[in-house]
Amino acid sequence: MARPCLLLLPSLLLAAAAAALLLAWAPGGALAKSKLAKKSDDIVNGPLLTEKLGAKRTLIVGPDEEFKTVQSAIDAVPAGNSEWIIVHLRSGLHKGKVTIPADKPFIFVRGNGKGRTSISHESASADNAESAAFTVNADNVIVFGISFRNSARVGLVNNQEIRSVSAMVAGDKVAFYHCAFYSPHHTLFDSAGRHYYESCYIQGNIDFIFGGGQSIFQCPEIFVKPDRRTEILGSITAQDRKAKDDTSGFVFLKGKVYGVGEVYLGRVSAPNSRVIFADTYLSKTINPAGWTSIGYTGGTEKECDAGGVQLHRAWLRRGQARAVVAAVHHERGGQVPHRRLHQRQGVAAGVLLLMIFRTE
């Protein structure tokens, strides 16, 4: 029979591993030699990424451009591509399903800001991958300044065609900067691979960040939208780590979680699900239990501020909390392809939530 098991050391290792999970992805080099290497005070924006990548080719998408749809520009990238190519989306709404196939790596999909450039598609299915509005199957992909929206109406909660993924990420070494993800159900399918999300907005209600990816979410803004079709509380994460030697896990750093109604921070969707929230503000929309299980048991909460998660929970000592955060900050010799993590203003300091789900 399954019983809860708390192991702090593996979580520290997860934090360190998560910090080192992204290897440099510029062609032919580690971060120290990469064109993406930056100082800690650099602000990541479209022009900076464009300059650092040094791409020799740009494909522009817009009603008055050579490429009228995003997919047509992706299709124009040669199979087996080994040099960075920019696909630049003009401001506005770009309709249609978009897929970056596995044989087209080194693509930088650039928008003009998540409030100005969006990709939208309406698709609901019993299969998460089939429903996705935007899919990345290739390695070495960067996305900047785009909103992704699946506008499907999923209908009754017991309808099999309920999944409406806004983005599915299945390639390795993929990064999203200043993007937004919207969907009524199953918003971000972080399927597999090493991923980095910085300053992204994610909105949903049921399992809306899910999958078996090995991913860091830096400074995320997570908004909980109520699901009025059911009385069952939703959950933000459903991390799919099945085996003990699986390196996957979700790490949320220096973000904000708020919204309408009430949800759990996560549910156990696999025997060894792993999620860490560090330096994260949690509003009262979070159910005090913190997590829920469907078929599995276990879990803990540590070092939370008194927002939705109250003080009756077990706490780590401040020193232990700092150790976990320090492990996340550790860059393992400069191999992480993003700037050094640093303290930001406006976020509650010292807030740490540690969730571990295990069965024995």
Q: Which residues are identified as catalytic?
A: 207
Distances (CA, A) of 22 to 6, 10, 271: 27, 19, 25
Integer Rg of the chain from CA: 20
**Are 355 and 56 in contact, with CB atoms under 8 Å apart?**
no
DSSP strand pairing (274-278 vs 352-356)? antiparallel
The percent helix, strand, coil of the chain (3-state, each to 5) is: 10, 30, 55
State the amino acid at position 251 in one-letter form.
Answer: V
Sign of CA pseudo-dihedral 180, 103, 249, 346: negative
Q: What are the φ/ψ torsions at residue 120 (nearest 5 degrees)?
A: -130, 140
Count the alpha carbons within 13 Å of 304 in the hemisphere toward its beta carbon.
28
Question: Residue 263: beta bridge partners?
Answer: 234, 286
Count the alpha carbons within 13 Å of 240 in the hemisphere toward its beta carbon.
12
Residue with tokens 């602000």: 43
Exposed e or buried b per residue across 35-73, where buried means at least 16 C-beta atoms within 10 angstroms of its C-beta: bbbbeeeeebebeebbebbebeeebebeeeeebeebbeb
